[in-house]
Amino acid sequence: MTVTTAREVPETQRVGRDEVPPAQLRLRLQPDRSGRGPLDGGWWPRSADPAAELPGLILALDKQHDRVARVMLGTADWDASRPRRVRVGGTAGGRVVRVGWFASMPAGLLTVIFASGQRTDLVTIPLRAGERDAAAAMEQAATAGNLQQAPAIVAAVGPGSS
């Protein structure tokens, strides 16, 4: 990608059984999808509960790109609930998005498939990361020309350093 700055994507309000007030979704995406590196950005979830975390991410990506059709992620670093589907957008007018869990996915990689067939690959920053390390890792993943893959970025994040 030719643009070197990342954009911060605000979180939309979660709806449904775990409705919470609007907050900042900790997500950085490359601002321009004209080139392809191993990653399109980074995401730092607030918990290991996929049912609580994925709806906000899906809604933000819907607004930035296209309608999310499927999310694929590794089993590590998430609680054991591993839902096969998550509801987004509330019960009235909401929809269900399929979630695939793969033990073979590289550490920290989350892949989103959109209705158009386009995909986005994000590094998922570990919960234990300090704020500065997490911000730097998300920025690196969202920078044009980044050649680091998700496992290398995750490995470089220090445990709770800031």
Q: Domain range spanning residue 102?
A: 7-156
Compute and round to an integer the Cα radius of gyration of the chain. 15
pTM exceeds 0.85, yes or no:
no
Helices then strands, counting H and E runs in the chain, come out as 3, 8
pLDDT tens column, 81-138:
999 999 998 767 789 999 999 999 998 999 999 999 999 999 999 999 999 999 999 9
In a domain, 161, yes or no: no
In a domain, 63, yes or no: yes
In a domain, 1, yes or no: no
In a domain, 16, yes or no: yes
Q: Using CA atoms, how far apart are residues 63 and 83, in angstroms rounded to an integer?
A: 23
The number of domains in the chain is 1
In a domain, 146, yes or no: yes
pLDDT tens column, 53-67:
999 999 999 988 889
In a domain, 2, yes or no: no
